[in-house]
Amino acid sequence: MRTIAIVGASLSGWRSAQELRAQGFDGRIELIGEETHRPYDRPPLSKDFLSGKVEAHDLALAEETDVAAVEATWRLGRRAVALAPGDGAIELDDGTRCRADGVVIATGATPKTLPAIPPGVHTLRTLDDAIALRADLRPGARAVIIGAGFVGAEVASTCKALGLEVTVVEALEVPLAPVIGPELGAVCAALHADHDVRLLCGAGVERLHGEHRVTAVELTDGTLLPADVVVIGIGARPNTDWLRGSGLTISNGVQCDAGGVTDLRNVVAVGDVASYRTPNGAQRFEHWTTALEQPATAIHNLLAGHSAANFTTVPYFWSEQYGVRIQFAGHASPTDRIAIVDGAPDDRRFVATFHREDETTGVLAMNTPKLFTKHRRQLTPRPAAPVS
């Protein structure tokens, strides 16, 4: 291979470029990114950046020395609109074509949203999203957060700290139940009440009110929630529309094997857009650590020309809400047995482990990082997808 194109210039795309050089690739690297910004750290967007504790320059992942070492051709502010595997070309939104012998798909995901969105309604995925939202967060304003997942809860926490009146709307009866089960989901949900934030569970959104500016959120039961600013945090969908007709299998992302290799041997997928075949259907790992670690395996396989190695992982994520640090690691299922092995949930300082038959499948902790790390190290890494 003489030219490799990386489509997506966030963490997983940037790590792929670094891995190409680290693994000895001396050809041309084309790094294509829809955003105009060089790679930056996303987790602080909902926390320290939104609260004004850090600025955009503090989030940079690609220092000038690193950029020079990678020697990539950057195409920022350009969106890929088609992949033609027959002639190895990627078509961009300005009509140009980028030819490559190998392709890394790292296009990530886009936040799900609602129809008929007036000004003052936000999603939070990019730096530009965070800049726009931060400008709307004024003390005393009424904020409605739609979705009580980790991003929604972090935004709610930040808004409360900034002096806003906050209401969180969640469609599930227990937030996070599909991820960590109803028992621990209820513990996370209680953090809102601990800090005088209103949480409405089992509530659907009918529509948003306001023409020139959002004024209210109407729920399916007719309840009207006055709002000066609304944040939608109801999940994300993988960015795969541009791959129609490419010959790749699209199933909740770009389908690949445990090594990140797609139906085309010269195309790999990394990060949030990579979808693995599992007994429970197509699964994606939307975690910072996966985006950081997975490219090493995918690049190895891309340069080898076949799936020579599998990406094994213990999924990990963390969240900071109302001054409480929540950490989770493992392959746990909500139906696994849960044991509290240290502390007490009511004290918001505990460690819980997940068990399936004789196996420990996961660990969740609040405000106990050292003990969490001990239990995390005992978890067994698994391939991202079943190995045939």
Reduced to 3 states (helix: H, G, I; strand: E, B; else coil), residue 285 is coil
**DSSP assignment of 184-246, as one string?**
HHHHHHHHHHHTT-EEEES--EEEEE-SSS--EEEETTS-EEE-SEEEE-S-EEE--GGGTTS
CA distance 33 to 73: 11
Extract the tokens encoding 295. 């490219």
Place of tokens 């493992």: 330
Six-digit token string for 99: 């030819």
Give how far Cα 304 sits from Cα of 17, 47, 258, 261, 299, Å. Answer: 16, 40, 15, 11, 8
- Rounded to whole angstroms, the Cα distance separating 366 from 331 reads 18
CB 348 within 8 A of CB 323: no
Per DSSP, the three-state class of 338 is strand
Sheet with 97-99: list strands edge to edge: 80-84, 89-92, 97-99
- Exposure of 260 in the CB half-sphere (CA atoms within 13 A): 34
pLDDT digits (tens, 9 = 90+) for 55-69: 999 999 988 999 999
Rounded to whole angstroms, the Cα distance separating 362 from 338 reads 9
C-alpha to C-alpha distance for 239 and 9, rounded to whole angstroms: 13
Q: How far from chain centre, in Å, is Cα 343?
A: 29
Residue 160: what pLDDT? Answer: 98
All domains in the chain, ordered by first residue = 3-110+236-307 (3.50.50.60), 113-232 (3.50.50.60), 323-381 (3.30.390.30)
In this prediction, residue 279 carries a pLDDT of 65
Q: Are 58 and 69 in contact (CB under 8 A)?
A: no
Residue 388: the pLDDT is: 55
Residue segments in the chain with a per-residue pLDDT below the cut of 70: 279-280, 387-388
Contacts of 59 (CB under 8 A, 6+ apart): 40, 41, 44, 45, 49, 127
Global pTM value: 0.95
Question: How do residues 129-169 score in pLDDT, each as one tens digit?
Answer: 999 999 999 999 999 999 999 999 999 999 999 999 999 99
